[in-house]
Amino acid sequence: MRATGPHPYRGRQLDASGVPPEGKLPMSTFLWTMAGLLAVVFLAAGTMKLTQPKAKLAAAGQGWVEDFSATAVKGIGLVEVLAATGLILPAALDIAPVLVPLAATGLGLMMVGAAITHTRRREFPLIAVNTVMLALAAVVAWGRFGPHSF
């Protein structure tokens, strides 16, 4: 029985059984997993920034918020939620799937900015988190812009 919904290899050469060439499906699964992980992390982080007051975020260990206005913190949260959505929905709904690597690129740029902020504040352990998220976003952007696009 064939699965319903958008096929991740639409427009690509498939064998007689409808299976993509060897090696393509595992990489697509890997990229979906990385995009899903990023989406969960940034949806949670963005929702927290949107729903919590700046003072509560600072008290919870996010001292960097002191360097930004409350409006800027809410804006960062909104961008994170939108990017998390952009990592999954366009491809899942097969509507403008090019938005997936664009969202990943945007998150990568946000992580560069976050790392700069944490460097200025000498919050070095947080830079490691930014670096990991940047690497994941870069892999998703590379894969979905390049050899494993939708």
Mean pLDDT of the chain: 88
Sign of CA dihedral 21, 26, 29, 34: negative
Domain ranges of the chain: 24-145
First to last CA, the chain: 22
| Pair 100, 86: CB distance under 8 Å | yes
For residue 108, what pLDDT band results from cuts at 50, 70 and 90? very high
| Digit-coded pLDDT (tens) for 81-97 | 999 999 999 999 999 99
Looking at the chain, the number of H-run helices and the number of E-run strands are 5, 0
pLDDT of 27 > 60? The answer is yes
pLDDT band at 2 (very low <50, low <70, confident <90, very high): very low
Closest CA to 45 of 89, 2, 71, 79: 79
CA distance 31 to 16: 25
Residue 21 has pLDDT above 70, yes or no: no
